[in-house]
Structure 1
Amino acid sequence: MTENHNSRALNKSLKEYARGIAGGLLFSFPLLYTMEVWWTGFIADPLDLMILVVVTYLLLLGYNRFAGMHPDASWKHVFIDSVEEMGIGLLISFGVLLMLNRIRLSGMGIDEVMGKVIIEAMAVSIGVSIGTAQLGANEEEEKRQKSRERKTKVGFFVLGICGAIIVGGNVAPTEEIVMIAMEAAPGHILAMALVSLLISIIVVFFSDFKGTARRSRNGLLFDMTFDTCVSYITALGVSAFVLWFFGRFDGVSFWVAFQQVVVLGVLSSLGASAGRLLIK
């Protein structure tokens, strides 16, 4: 009996690890193939890397607490799961970059190797966490459904951050964001901001995504205003953070930096609004 129980537990753990690896690759492959991310890893300051690791770990804690594979897990297990996911992210990042010849075991400084691996691994680890929870088998759906009923505004905020990073983070390092921002007129920036708000409203309240209909019937005007503002503020905050991290604010005026945030906010707002509904 004990042997069969241990065998089932091992099999379940292996399946969770497999789903985590699949999720890590699914959500982060674009960044693993992005030259600007490699360059940022090459020039990254150790303090910036430490900040990125801390922020990512806090996001993993929040995601695993509010939408993880084991919604009834204690904080101890949440801490352990988050460490495991970050470790898997580091291994995946190291392996893929080594395969792509972006890092080498000889002839390359340890600082460069660590910088590239850490930056890529942070996005991968979020994908690992999402993949473990979202690509799970049907028997976990009931547990996750019960967890959804206990979601709070804080939970939706955390999930919104994760969604914004997954969607907006894949584009933030590219030169196209800077180019669009510098060439945009004030009218274009205003249109992008309005479209971002419209996206949040449509995704959260006027779509067929799970959980929207029930929430939209109670206090429609308040919920629409509050959730739309939270989604867009979250999107702008995430956009500003990732653009700052990738050095997109260096040597530019406040207006250009602001325009970049709004440009990236179009994508991040989709992630912030849809992410908290889909990433559960």
Structure 2
Amino acid sequence: MATERNGRPVRKSLKEYARGIAGGLLFSFPLLYTMEVWWAGFIAEPLELLILVLVTYLLLLGYNRFAGMHPDASWPNVFIDSVEEMGLGLLISFGVLLMLNRIDLYGMGLDELMGKVIIEAMAVSIGVSIGTAQLGAGGQEDKEKKEKESKRRNSKLGMFVLGLCGAIVVGGNVAPTEEILVIGVEAKPAHILAMAIFSLVQSVVVLYFSNFRGTAGGKSDNIFFDITFDTCMTYLTALGASAFVLWFFGRFDGVSFWIAFSQVIVLGVLSSLGASAGRLLIK
């Protein structure tokens, strides 16, 4: 509620902001140090930046709804939290890039400056959201809401949203690099098939046989159906996230369908780990 939000102690709010900053840096520092991301900010079109902002905001809405710091928050508060996290991501991104001498306030065009900051900030803002919700110590309030949160997160929609966030966070750190293209170009069909099978197997292992926290709840008596459905949904989510980030960073430009497909499968190895393990760990 708005009154509850406004009545939150300043000290508690500052702690949440501190956790958000820590999470933003923890999950996005590799991208802040990646040359390909700086270049993407230089050549990005306004429409591409707008799409990235919209997709990121939708991810923040989904994450804050299903696994945020305040699971009982109303939708207006979820919208506000997401805007705050995106704003904090922009500030962190601008400050770090300025510190690293990757932006020049006087000698750089406004388009390039905004492109670099916005692209980096989208990854940072997801880290801010995760850090705000996950880096705090659990208390009595967490225990009282545990059952309700578990039901929400174990819903199919909740699993999809958290899996998508995990895939973007993990796969997004590698997608801009040249190595994905090199592996995709040099890989033979047997390698691509092996990577796809490995991705599926690791998803099954993580989701059902790793004994990770959160892997045992909310399952029906039909374990074979659960394994098949959850694994397929996780892998398709990972492939969709991989295709999106690869498209955004221009990895599909001027290449054949097979090379584009190979890159998606290659990045899917990491993204599927993010979609399976990530959705369990960021609870």
**The two structures share one fold, judged by TM-score above 0.5:** yes
**Residue 188 of structure 1 pairs with residue 191 of structure 2:** yes
Cα distance, 1:68 vs. partner?
A: 0.2
* Cross-structure match for 2:149: 147
Structure 1 residue aligned with 2:84: 84
For residue 171 of structure 1, give the secondary structure of its aligned residue in structure 2.
coil
For the Cα contact (< 8 Å) 1:189–1:262, is it kept in 2?
yes
Amino acid corresponding to residue 109 of structure 1 in structure 2: G
Deviation at 1:154, TM superposition (A): 0.1
Contact kept? 2:219, 2:226, Cα under 8 Å: yes
**Which residue of structure 2 aligns with residue 61 of structure 1?**
61
Distance apart, 1:215 and its partner CA: 4.2
Cα deviations across residues 120-164 of structure 1 (Å, max 9, x unaligned)? 000000000000000112225323553112331000100000000
The alpha carbon displacement at 1:8 in A equals 6.9
Match of 1:266 in 2: 269
Deviation sequence 1:234-275 (CA, Å, 0-9, x none): 000000000000000000000000000000000000000111
Q: Does 1:206 align with 2:209?
A: yes
* Structure 2 CA distance for partners of 1:146 and 1:7, relative to 1, 3 Å: closer
Q: Describe the SS at the equivalent of 1:150.
A: helix
Measure the CA separation in 2 of the matches of 1:231 and 1:7: 39
Quick one: structure 1 residues 7 and 238, their matched pair in 2 at CA, closer, same or farther if it must change by over 3 Å? closer
Alignment correspondent of 2:14: 14
Task: Specify the SS of the correspondent of 1:214.
Answer: coil
Q: Say which SS state the counterpart of residue 170 (structure 1) adopts.
A: coil
For residue 169 of structure 1, the aligned residue among 149, 167, 172 is 172
Question: What residue is the counterpart of 1:3 in the other structure?
Answer: none
| Aligned equivalents of 1:126, 1:223: Cα separation in 2 | 29
Determine the C-alpha separation between the residues in 1 that align with 2:39 and 2:243: 19
The corresponding residue for 1:275 is 278
Q: Which ranges of 4 or more aligned residues in structure 1 deviate by more than 4 Å?
A: none
Indicate conservation of the 8 Å contact 2:220/2:226, yes or no. Answer: no
Q: How does 1:103-118 map to 2 (within 5 A)?
A: 103-118=103-118
TM-score scaled by length of structure 1: 0.96
Q: Find the residue that maps to 1:138 and give its secondary structure.
A: coil
Q: How many residues matched?
A: 275
CA distance in 2, matches of 1:246, 1:212: 33
Partner of residue 178, structure 1: 181
Residue equivalent to 1:156: 159
- The TM-score, its normalising length taken from structure 2, stands at 0.95
Q: Residues 7 and 148 from structure 1, CA distance in 2 versus in 1: closer, same or farther, beyond 3 angstroms?
A: closer
Contact between 2:68 and 2:129, CA under 8 Å: does it hold in 1? yes
For 1:16 and 1:187, the matched residues in 2 are separated by 48
Structure 2 residue runs of 5 or longer lacking an equivalent are 1-5
1:1-53 CA deviation, whole Å, 9 max, x = no partner?
A: xxxxx997000000000000000000000000000000000000000000000
Q: Does structure 1 conserve the Cα–Cα contact (< 8 Å) formed by 2:203 and 2:272? A: yes
* Counterpart-to-counterpart distance in 2, 1:218 and 1:83: 41
Q: Is the 8 A contact 1:67 1:147 kept in 2?
A: yes
| Partners of 1:90 and 1:118 within 8 A in 2 | yes
Deviation at 1:210, TM superposition (A): 1.6
Q: Deviations over 1:46-98 (max 9, x none)?
A: 00000000000000000000000000000000000000000000000000000
Work out the percentage of aligned pairs sharing the same amino acid.
77
2: CA distance, partners of 1:167 / 1:37? 15
